[in-house]
Amino acid sequence: MSPESEDLDLAAETVRRFGEHVQAVLFSGDAPDGNLDAVPDLIAEAAGMDILADAGPLRAGHEIGVWGRHILREGCRLSLLTLSMLGEVCAGLATAVHAQGIGALALDGSECVPSGATVGAGFLPAFGLALDRRTAPDVLHIERDAGGKHLKGRAHFILASGRPDWLVCFARDEGANGWAALAIPASGRGINLEQVGSRLGLRAVSQWHVTCERASVADEWVLVEGSDASGLLSRVMACDWLGQAAIALGAARRAVHDARDYAGGRYQGGRMIIEHAAIRLLLAQAEHDTALLASVLDEHADRPLDSQRPEDLLRWAIGARLAVGEHAQRAVTNCLQVFGGYGYMDDYGLSKRLRDVGVLASLHGGPDQLLLLLEDMASPGGDR
C-alpha cells in the first residue's frame, strides 16, 4: 500500500515550512556551515512537528517521523522525500534527523528506550562493513560468563542528532548464532563515547566512536538475536544508505537550482553565461545526474519494507549510495563550476554542498566496499 498522495502533500508542506525556518535560523550569519549552536533547538522543533522519529510509541513521530514505523507498511517514500527536502536546505541537519530515524528503526519496535531519547545506531567496525565476513573479528561482540552477558569492542562513526542517550549496537554473538541487536544506555558503566574529530562536512550532525569495555547487558536490552538480528542489521544499513542518498539528492537539486539562477543573471563574454555552451553542458549534466539519482531512489520507494527481503533492500540501497558518489558529487561540482571563482568561496553555499556530498559519498562505507558487498550478495550462497 502506498501512502495517500494527500498525506504526502501535507507532510511535504510541513517539511517545506520547517525547511524555510531552518534556512532562516541556520544561515542568517556568515558561518559557512550555519549557526551550529541553533541545531539542538531545531532538532527539538523537528520532534515537535513529528518529523523526527521518536523512540517511544506515544509520540506521533514514532509512527510518521523519518524512518518511523510507517515504512514497514507504506515504504520509504515519505522518509526519502523529507530527507531530500531537508537536504536542499542543510545536508548536515537532514543527516541529524536521519540519524535519529535510523536509531529508532534499529530499535525494531522495542519500547525499552524512553520517548524523547536521542538514539544512535552502532554497527561499523574500524574499517569495512559489518556484513563483510573479514571484518567480523573487529566488530563489537558479546561475551558470556557467570556474571551474564557483556559487550566488548568498538563501534565507529555513529551518527546522532546530538549526544546519544541510548545506543543500538549490533554485536557478534556466537552464543546466539551470529548477531545480536541490543539497546544500551550511552551513559552506562563500561561505555565510553568519543567524538569523531574534525571532518569535511555535515557538521550539523554529531558523530561518535563508542568503546565498550565489558559493559553489562541486561536481558531486556537485547532486541533480537540470530538471523532476525542480521535481517534487522541489513534493514538498518539499507535505510541508512537510502537516507544518505536522499539527502545528497536534495543537496544536488539545490545546487542545480542555485547554479541555474546564477547563470541566468551573470553576464560574461558579452552574453549571459547561460548562453555559453560550456555552462549549458555543465547544467545539463548536473540535471541529468540529479534525475538519475532520483530515479534510483524512486525505484522501490512505495514498497513496504515488510514485503522486501533484506538482501533486495540492500541491493537497492547500495545502488542509491553508489549513485551519490557518481552522480550527486558530479552534479554539485559541475554546479560549483558554473559559478567560477565565486563557487569556490563560502558565500554562495556551493562549497558547503560539495563538502557535504563528499562525506555522503563515503559515509558508513566507501564505494569499493559497497561494490564488494553487492558482489558478495550476488555470489552463490551470498545472500544474507
Partner 1 sequence: MDSALRQSIDRLAPIGRLLYDRGPRTLWERDTATLPGYLRRRRRAYLRFARTCIAPEAAEADRDPEDYDPRPLLLESGRRGFQSEFAVPPFGTMPLLALTGGKVLHAVLKAEEFCAACGGIGLSLLAHDLGIAPLLLSGHLPTIGRWLLPISHSNRRGSPVLAAFAITEPSAGSDVEESAGARRARVVTTARKVPGGYVLNGQKVFISGARHADVVSVFAVLERPDGTRGSVEADFTGFMVERDRSGYRVGRSEHKLGQRACDATELFFDDVFLPARNLIGTERSGWALNRNVLNYSRLPVAAIGLGIARGAVEAATDFARRTRLAGKPLLSYQEIQLGIADLWMDVMAMRGLVWQSARRRTPAQGVSSTAKAFCGDRAFAVATRAMGLMADHGYLTANRAEKAMRDARLNQIYEGTNQINRLALIEAIWESDLARAPWSLNPNVGSRSR
* Site of interaction with partner 1 (CB under 8 A): 30, 32, 124, 126-128, 134-138, 156-157, 196-201, 267-271, 278, 282, 325, 329, 333, 336-337, 340-341, 343-347, 351, 354-355, 358-359, 361-369, 372
Least gap, CB of 359 to partner 1 (angstroms)? 4
Residue type, 347: D
Least gap, CB of 281 to partner 1 (angstroms)? 9
Based on CB atoms, which residue is closest to partner 1, 111 or 127? 127
Listed in sequence order, the DSSP H helices in 273-309 are 277-298
Least gap, CB of 207 to partner 1 (angstroms)? 9
As a whole number of angstroms, the distance between CA 143 and CA 96 comes to 32
Based on CB atoms, which residue is closest to partner 1, 199 or 257? 199
Least gap, CB of 345 to partner 1 (angstroms)? 5
As a whole number of angstroms, the distance between CA 103 and CA 154 comes to 17
Among 161, 203, 196, smallest CA distance to 34 is for 203
Least gap, CB of 100 to partner 1 (angstroms)? 19
As a whole number of angstroms, the distance between CA 209 and CA 10 comes to 37
Based on CB atoms, which residue is closest to partner 1, 34 or 325? 325
- Nine-digit cell string for 369: 566496499
As a whole number of angstroms, the distance between CA 79 and CA 246 comes to 9
Least gap, CB of 368 to partner 1 (angstroms)? 5
Least gap, CB of 111 to partner 1 (angstroms)? 31
Least gap, CB of 109 to partner 1 (angstroms)? 29
Based on CB atoms, which residue is closest to partner 1, 128 or 231? 128
Based on CB atoms, which residue is closest to partner 1, 191 or 363? 363
The count of residues in the chain is 384
Based on CB atoms, which residue is closest to partner 1, 298 or 346? 346
Based on CB atoms, which residue is closest to partner 1, 114 or 137? 137
Q: Is residue 95 a contact partner of residue 24, using CB atoms and an 8 Å limit?
A: no
Among 212, 116, 110, smallest CA distance to 169 is for 212
Based on CB atoms, which residue is closest to partner 1, 38 or 360? 360
Q: Is residue 91 a contact partner of residue 85, using CB atoms and an 8 Å limit?
A: no
Q: Is residue 190 a contact partner of residue 231, using CB atoms and an 8 Å limit?
A: no
- The 10 Å Cβ neighbour count of residue 210 is 23
* Parallel, antiparallel or unpaired: strands 191-195 and 166-173: unpaired
Based on CB atoms, which residue is closest to partner 1, 231 or 365? 365
* Parallel, antiparallel or unpaired: strands 119-122 and 166-173: parallel
As a whole number of angstroms, the distance between CA 315 and CA 321 comes to 10
Among 334, 256, 281, 208, smallest CA distance to 84 is for 256
Least gap, CB of 19 to partner 1 (angstroms)? 24
E strands present in 11-165: 119-122, 141-145, 148-160
| 225, containing H or E segment | strand 222-225
Least gap, CB of 146 to partner 1 (angstroms)? 30
Tell the burial category of 9 from Cβ atoms under 10 Å away from its Cβ (0-12, 13-18, 19+).
exposed
- Nine-digit cell string for 55: 523512540
Based on CB atoms, which residue is closest to partner 1, 25 or 372? 372
Question: Phi and psi for 205 in degrees, rounded to 5?
Answer: -105, 145
